[in-house]
Amino acid sequence: MKKIKISLKNLFLFLIIFICLVLLIFQNVSISGRATESFTDSNVSITKYIAISFSENLSEGIDFGDVNVLPATSLNATHNYDGLINGTSLYISVSSDSNTPVDFCIKANTDLTSIDLDVIGLANETYQNSSTTNLTLPTTSPEIPLTTSYIKSGDNIAVGSENYYRFWLDVPVAQPSGDYNNTVSFKGVQVGYSC
């Protein structure tokens, strides 16, 4: 009689284990019906590519030369007018090995700053851009001040063409002497996208 009682207890435990294992399987395995439809894949892959480059002079930086008389207003960058037909030689090219037009964005990392931490405010460093260049293009007004966030400069620059820039600097009368530097960054983005 005792033997049967123990067996029933064990049987009950076996049953619990079995039920739990079945539930565990049902919980974690999804059962699907057999599909009878036939299908074929349709696929398209769209690739975009953009390559840009500085002109040689722009890659060397934006230089405003020596300033001997203060205040200096709308001081020209040294390469503002030394291109063909008195155009600028500061430009960015969109390679012909690109397949989408480009918008350009521009920013500066900080004010023009000397090693002694004197600054020429970023509002004093200005630019203008154009998709062609000559004596009057890019125009001298309005001069757009640089900012520390990217803003759109060149719009919809076509594949195989250039975006030309001129830069100017205002130096206030009381500006301490010294060398002032910062970094101006250009970013090419797919046309229509924000900076």
Partner 1 sequence: MNLKKLFIVFSMFVLVFPLVSAGVGISWNKETSLVPENTKTCLTYKVYNPWPDDSYVEIELSEELLPIVSYVESETKFVPKNTPSSEAIPVEFCFKTPRIYEQDCLLFDKLICKQDCLEDMQIYSGEVIVLESNDYKSSGGSGGSATAISVSAPLKVKVQCVAHKRNYSLIYIVVVLIAGILLAINLLNKKRKKNKK
Q: Which of residues 169-188 bind partner 1 (CB under 8 A)?
A: 169, 171, 178-188
Site for partner 1 in 29-58 (CB under 8 A): 45-58
Binding residue for partner 1, selected from 80, 88, 125, 129, defined by CB under 8 A: 125
Q: Containing H/E element for 130?
A: strand 125-130
Residues 6+ apart with CB under 8 A from 3: none
Binding residue for partner 1, selected from 1, 4, 27, 42, defined by CB under 8 A: 27
Query: Which pairs with CB-CB distance under 8 Å and at least 24 residues apart come from 59-66?
Result: 62/90, 62/167, 62/184, 64/167, 64/169
As measured in angstroms, the least distance from the Cβ of 97 to partner 1 is 4
Site for partner 1 in 83-112 (CB under 8 A): 84, 89, 91-93, 95-99, 102, 108, 112
**CA-wise closest residue to 184 among 71, 67, 50, 77:** 77
Binding residue for partner 1, selected from 63, 73, 86, 147, defined by CB under 8 A: 63
Give the amino acid at 4: I
Measured distance CA(13)–CA(7) in Å, rounded = 10
The site map against partner 1 for 133-152 (x = CB under 8 A) is: --------------------
Residues in contact with partner 1, counted by CB under 8 A, come to a total of 71
Measured distance CA(126)–CA(146) in Å, rounded = 6
As measured in angstroms, the least distance from the Cβ of 128 to partner 1 is 15
